[in-house]
Chains A and B, each alone.
Chain A
Amino acid sequence: MAEFLQFCFSGLTVGSVYALVALGFTVIYNASNVVNFAQGEFVMLGGMVTVALLAASVPLPVAGVAAVFVAALVGLALHRLAIEPARGSSPVELIIITIGASIFIRGVAQVVFDKQFHKLPAFSGDAPIHMLGATILPQSLWVLGGAGAIVIGLHLFSEHTLVGKAAAATAANRLAARLAGIDTTAIVSLSFALAGAVGAVAGILITPITLTSYNAGTLLALKGFAAGMLGGMGKPLGAVLGGLLLGLAEAFGAGYVSSAYKDGIAFIVILVVLLSLPQGLLGKHSAERV
């Protein structure tokens, strides 16, 4: 029982990290149908900028807020300098542009920061919480809580604000949205900034657990993307569900089957889900919204 619970906790810890990264994907996808592969770099920037400011003896909350702003600005710049000039290209071409952008951001980060691994102090200490013979670090709860808060925030934004509804309209049909008087360029631009901010928040929350370095974004983006697809691309709740499922699959794979095949087991879960539900766990609902 204790063993089972420990695997659960491990799965929730890793899964909530994936969920947080996956959430960033949904924002841009919802406004423009583009899967932004530079999302992992936003997460990296959140962690690395905070680490750098902390090293310059800026207090953690201030450093964190600054990092969120930096990542939002990078998101804006990504849209203005790379996506907007390619306006009218198909989503596939835009996706390839974001892959290029991710390589560029990684390169710049390598020069601006350094190539070492860094960590942030855990927000509420390193003492594990004991429960029925298993343990979980308090930081995991921060990550879970952060994912929950972002889901609620995004829900309120898209369902209860005019800008959010404009974003949904832009995603559904850009021409129709523009005819209805929505400044679609500004909306997409805003979604990039928001995705940068969400990514940075994720980066700050997960760095005490995952550590970070200039190239930490690559793997996170892959796992986050997988989690997003699993849950249904564009659904915040689906992103969280997909992330947690992926994390649990890895943890139980490593615990009960073999640590050598743990990634393989996670991929089998993804394959099975996507074969039976090609839109992901919550994907169908999003098609009905139009």
Chain B
Amino acid sequence: MTKRFRLLPLLAAGAALTVATAAGERAVAQDIKIGSVLSATGPASFLGAPEEKTLRLYVDTINAEGGILGKKLVLVVYDDGGDPSKARTFAGRLVDEDRVTAMVGGTTSGTSLAMAPIFEDARVPFISLAGAVEIIEPVRKYVFKTPHTDRMACEKIFGDLKARGLVKIGMISGTDAFGKSMREQCLKVADKYGVTILADESYSAQDSDMTPQLTNIKNTPGIQAVVNPGFGQGPAIVTRDYRQIGVAVPLYESHGVASKSYIQLAGPAADGVRLPAAALLVAEQLPKDDAQRPVVVGYKQTYEKATGEPVSTFGGHAYDGLFILVDAMKRAGGADPTKVRDEIEKTTHFTGTGGMFNMSPTDHLGLDLSAFRMLEIRNGDWYLAQGDR
């Protein structure tokens, strides 16, 4: 008997909760709902965490300024922990239960590719924040992305090599997804720039010594430069070992290490290394007449002031995605997913942190090579490399 009585308050609380949720949902029916599935924890958290902070920060700012078309933005965020199958589940929830107008998210290529079919089927626009070119090639009607691709990074590096007359190169790539994919893209575009790859070595992402591979590259006759497509701690160790065995030719890293932690881990060995990266890293160094300057300086200062953390390009991708969507909703005059999609596709001359976006029915990224700046590391900091505008 007593047991049943003890259950009663619980039941009552449960009923009250149900009523409260129902009321809550009614209240937000007037608002515009934007969904986001991010890898805010787990191995990709260094990408997902700044993305989440950026989205929350700017959605609050937009609402404080009166929202969009007189409506409040409501941001629904789920954390997939970097797991594609979880991301898929959350994507389904955004579409079926939350009924969002659009989604800005998908931290990694794996989670983005897992979610793409769901948004495509539900006809809800999806702006991905991940790198792989497969997300937008072949074009899916409802799927877009904001970060530059690894193919563009290769082209930027090879362009710089060609300009410096260093066309016989060695490559040492990580065997993780990032390194593998970028290596393949580099091999594909090498011919276009007249670059010959004389040595092609690799390392596992968690190796702690790469001197044997680098020794082989060093001993290959005719090598003029070395390119290291990689991500995480590997490139820092490559850089250290590169100096240890005294390879004399220039070293190029990828956009995968465009963060201060690479410089910190590699230490003085990073001096002289070149890499392609978004303008955000050198915001204050951009010329006064650079179209991107006000955007990147503004984002950098806002983010750093609000979070107390140094800005990263990853949060910038979320910034670009959110404002491409906001602009599209303004042009569409409402939150109808199909109309918003059409307007996202018509995005032109949108200046974001990643570059100038000009989308089209065949290009759901819309960035060209000018999105990348060639940077050089000197005395532990980034500088625009000579010859890069």
CB neighbours of B267 from chain A (8 A) = 119, 126
A254 touches B265 (CB 8 A): no
Q: How far apart are B308's CB and chain A's nearest CB, in angstroms?
A: 14
CB neighbours of A14 from chain B (8 A) = 207-209
B261 touches A209 (CB 8 A): no
Whether A6 contacts B212 in the complex (CB less than 8 A), given A128-B244, A135-B245, comes out as yes
B215 touches A6 (CB 8 A): yes
Give residues of chain B (257-278) contacting chain A, Cβ–Cβ below 8 Å: 261, 264-265, 267-269
CB neighbours of A7 from chain B (8 A) = 211-212, 215
Residue B204, interface by CB 8 Å:
yes
CB neighbours of A137 from chain B (8 A) = 244
Whether A6 contacts B211 in the complex (CB less than 8 A), given A115-B46, A128-B244, A135-B246, comes out as yes
CB neighbours of B268 from chain A (8 A) = 126
Q: How far apart are B12's CB and chain A's nearest CB, in angstroms?
A: 36
A259 touches B212 (CB 8 A): yes
List the A residue with the shortest CB-CB distance to B175: A260
Whether A6 contacts B245 in the complex (CB less than 8 A), given A117-B261, A210-B208, A259-B201, comes out as yes
List the B residue with the shortest CB-CB distance to A260: B202
List the A residue with the shortest CB-CB distance to B245: A135
Residue A23, interface by CB 8 Å:
no
Most buried by B among A116, A206, A219, A254: A254
User: Which of B43, B46, B212, B269 is within 8 Å of A251, CB to CB?
Assistant: B212
B213 touches A259 (CB 8 A): yes
A7 CA / B211 CA spacing, docked (Å)? 7
Q: How far apart are B216's CB and chain A's nearest CB, in angstroms?
A: 6
B209 touches A255 (CB 8 A): no
A119 CA / B46 CA spacing, docked (Å)? 17
Q: How far apart are B350's CB and chain A's nearest CB, in angstroms?
A: 32
A213 CA / B208 CA spacing, docked (Å)? 13
CB neighbours of B32 from chain A (8 A) = none
Q: How far apart are B352's CB and chain A's nearest CB, in angstroms?
A: 26
Whether A255 contacts B208 in the complex (CB less than 8 A), given A116-B46, A135-B244, A211-B236, comes out as no
Give residues of chain A (1-18) contacting chain B, Cβ–Cβ below 8 Å: 3, 6-7, 9-10, 13-14, 17
Whether A209 contacts B212 in the complex (CB less than 8 A), given A3-B219, A135-B246, A137-B244, comes out as no
Give residues of chain B (226-251) contacting chain A, Cβ–Cβ below 8 Å: 232-233, 236-237, 240, 244-246
Give residues of chain A (21-48) contacting chain B, Cβ–Cβ below 8 Å: none
CB neighbours of B46 from chain A (8 A) = 115-116
User: Which of A116, A215, A254 is within 8 Å of B213, CB to CB?
Assistant: A254
Residue B203, interface by CB 8 Å:
yes
A126 CA / B265 CA spacing, docked (Å)? 13
A254 CA / B264 CA spacing, docked (Å)? 27
CB neighbours of B181 from chain A (8 A) = none
Residue B45, interface by CB 8 Å:
yes
B residues whose Cβ falls under 8 Å from a Cβ of A: 43, 45-46, 172, 175, 201-204, 206-209, 211-213, 215-216, 219, 232-233, 236-237, 240, 244-246, 261, 264-265, 267-269
The 6 A-B pairs of least Cβ separation, nearest first, read A255-B212, A210-B208, A254-B212, A10-B211, A128-B244, A259-B201
